[in-house]
Amino acid sequence: MDNHVTLTAETAIEYVKNKTSIFSKSEILTAKVFDGNRQSVDGLCNHLVLVKSMTTGHSVVLKQMMPYVRALKDRGIVLPMKLARINTEVYYAKLLDEIIPGAVPTIHLWDEANSIVIMEDLSEMKILRNEMIKMKQFSDFPRQLGEFLGRSAFFTSERFLSKNEKMSLAHIFEFNNDGCIFENLIFEAPFKNYKDREIYHALQKDIDDICNNPKVLAEVAILKDIFINKKQALIHADLHTSNIFVDEKNMKVFDGEYAHYGPVAYDIGLLIGSFVTNYASLIGIKRISEEKRQDYQAYVFKVISEMYHTFERSFIELCQKHHKDQNLKGYMDSTIKDTIGFAACSSFSRVYDYNLTFDFKQTDNLEEQVKGRRFIIKLTKYLLLNRSNFNSIEDFLSAMEALTLTTVVYDLVSEAFENRQAI
């Protein structure tokens, strides 16, 4: 099979029959090509085909890596991508399944030559970002995510591995790494190339203010350096809520094709940035009652708090169990500060009108969208300029709460003034 030939529904069925014994020869198979409009980067970057048995109902997903971002190619923009990232995804899934069994999709087949992987179908579960946009609540996933972060941070670090073992593992992931794209997406483009971005006119002054602030840019440069050079453990590197499946009892992390060694705080910060975006998107939407908004924002606070505390507890307990608890206080102090910095950069990158900022597309009213985006801009500036003073996740949540109150009061005063002017 030519690795540049894109799978169709028909060729996917033939491929599964010829390459695997997942389905018996007597089973009738059907296939569906995902159109990439689902709320996940995976379907926008790669080619996905669902193959299902009409006989038993069992199904699998074929993921074919493209040498470019597929969604952009459809619009005439060619952004090259390494095909070798399929190796990274498979290595990551196999390793993490050993460390946290059941937390990643099962890999059925790895065809490196054709850049195809056949994996467990998770379509019975829900993409977390989509469910949070619907204001759904799940009780178990914050703890599960915290365990995932804590165990992966410990078992892929020198607190568990020997120095040579860690170096060997890091080499495997660095060899296929395309992590440099995040240097641009998170640290460069939002703060330096923002004038080329599609942003609302009402936000231009706010964005100019933060992007021309020397102290802000200095902090961003420090965080970028940490992202590049602090090789603490294996990180997913693209761990946001569109790359997590959930149901009432389970959680699955997928799309680990950019995994590499980096700072433990980066994955945590990226996740918190996703939660902040969801939280902020509710600000200003008039069809959502104040009571309902406050209730769900309180839930988001609980998610962030429980996830981070579970990460801390899991990581510290493993260090103590394996007698690797030297300098834990210093480690955890720097982790919370870096986490807050990465969360700020991550959420700020979502202010721009990317196609993937689904949270703000709950409303077509641009004035309503602007309120949530402005909240993120103000929060980002405050966090970046003050992160060295934060000592706990509660400090972070208190800052969010204070800014929320200020925003609500400002909106009420503005509305009252406008009503008075209209009389």
Q: Map out the domains of the chain as residue ranges.
A: 9-120, 126-422
Q: What is the dihedral of CA 32, 14, 114, 98, to 10 degrees?
A: 70
Give the Cα separation of 382 and 206 in Å (integer): 13
Candidates 413, 349, 389; CA nearest to 190 is 349
Which DSSP symbol is given to 185?
Answer: I
Residue 74 burial (CB < 10 Å; 0-12/13-18/19+)? exposed
pLDDT interval class at 69 (50, 70, 90): low
Average pLDDT of the chain is 89
Candidates 307, 241, 269, 250; CA nearest to 103 is 250
Q: Which CATH class is domain 9-120?
A: alpha beta
Q: What is the CATH number of domain 126-422?
A: 3.90.1200.10
pLDDT interval class at 41 (50, 70, 90): very low
Residues 6+ apart with CB under 8 A from 423: none
pLDDT digits (tens, 9 = 90+) for 144-184: 999 999 999 999 999 999 999 999 999 999 866 665 788 98
Is 43 a residue whose pLDDT tops 60? no
At 421, list the tokens.
């002017």
Contacts within 8 Å (CB) and 24+ apart, 401-408: 401/301, 403/375, 403/378, 403/379, 404/283, 404/297, 404/375, 407/283, 407/371, 407/375, 407/378, 408/283
Judged by DSSP in three states, 351 sits in coil
Is 37 a residue whose pLDDT tops 70? no
Which DSSP symbol is given to 62?
Answer: E
pTM of the shown model: 0.91
At 359, list the tokens.
């949270």
Residue 191 has what pLDDT? 93
